[in-house]
């Protein structure tokens, strides 16, 4: 009886995941075309959120892989991947990059190198979103003219752990590792491990 119950649950689940994967790829391909995304090859579990407007662009290299939503890379806090760019912002992702439940919000430039792995629920922002000037921020209509924006660059072979926050102006040097849950508000040199909130140096590789 237990075996029957087990397989009556597992078999439909496998079938559902198969069709979910196939349909997700078609929907994602449709979104890529609709938002004029430049891409080479990709694999996706689930469907990402894409909102590219105001002259912005999203470019993705070969061998790109992503997980979206609660059924994939089940480490907690699942969400879909977000690719949000506006005001001419450029999101450029290199070859052989893997992400899970990652959010990119770009007003200027976010550049990801080759062979990068980004853990689940990480967010990358190249903007403060709001002015640091209190008068601009609390007025009747918020003045965003002086909102700070700076390019984010993640070098080749970088590994970023789950639940990290990467903020504007940060460069992460190639081969470096960022520990899970880190808040990265300053640049990290190549070939080092950093972790913590705020992020701090741990050791050289």
Whether the CB-CB separation of 128 and 144 falls below 8 Å is answered with no
Sequence-separated contacts (24+) of 36-41 with Cβ below 8 Å:
39/64, 40/64, 40/95
Q: Which of 162, 169, 143, 16 is nearest to 178 (CA)?
A: 162
103-132 in b/e burial notation, b at 16+ Cβ within 10 A?
A: bbbbbbbbbbbbbbbbbbbbbbbbbbeebe
57's enclosing H/E stretch is strand 57-60
Q: Which of 183, 68, 179, 80 is nearest to 125 (CA)?
A: 183
Active site residue 130: yes
Cα 72 to Cα 82, 147, 181, distances in angstroms:
15, 35, 20
Identify the active-site residue in 21, 105, 130, 163: 130
The number of angstroms, rounded, from the C-alpha of 152 to the middle of its chain's C-alpha atoms is 12
Q: Which of 106, 146, 111 is nearest to 127 (CA)?
A: 106
Q: Is the peptide bond before 198 cis (omega within 30 degrees of 0)?
A: yes
Catalytic residues: 130
């Amino acid at each position: 009886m237990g075996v029957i119950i087990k397989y009556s649950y597992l078999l439909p689940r496998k079938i559902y995941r198969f069709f979910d994967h196939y349909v997700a790829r078609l929907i994602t391909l449709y979104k890529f075309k609709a938002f004029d995304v430049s891409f080479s090859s990709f694999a996706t579990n689930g469907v990402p959120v894409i909102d590219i407007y105001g002259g912005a662009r999203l470019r993705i290299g070969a061998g790109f892989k992503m997980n979206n939503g609660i059924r994939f890379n089940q480490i907690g806090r699942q969400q879909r991947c977000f690719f949000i760019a506006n005001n001419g912002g450029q999101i450029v992702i290199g070859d052989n990059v893997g992400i899970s439940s990652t959010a990119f919000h770009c007003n200027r430039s976010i550049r990801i190198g080759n062979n990068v792995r980004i853990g689940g629920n990480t967010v990358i922002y190249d903007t403060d979103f709001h002015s640091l000037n209190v008068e601009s921020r609390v007025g009747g209509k918020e003045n965003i003219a002086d909102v700070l924006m700076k390019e984010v660059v993640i070098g080749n072979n970088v590994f970023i752990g789950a639940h990290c926050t990467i903020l504007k102006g940060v460069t992460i040097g190639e081969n470096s590792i960022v520990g899970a849950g880190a808040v990265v508000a300053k640049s990290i040199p190549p070939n080092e491990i950093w972790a913590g909130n705020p992020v701090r140096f741990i050791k050289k590789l």
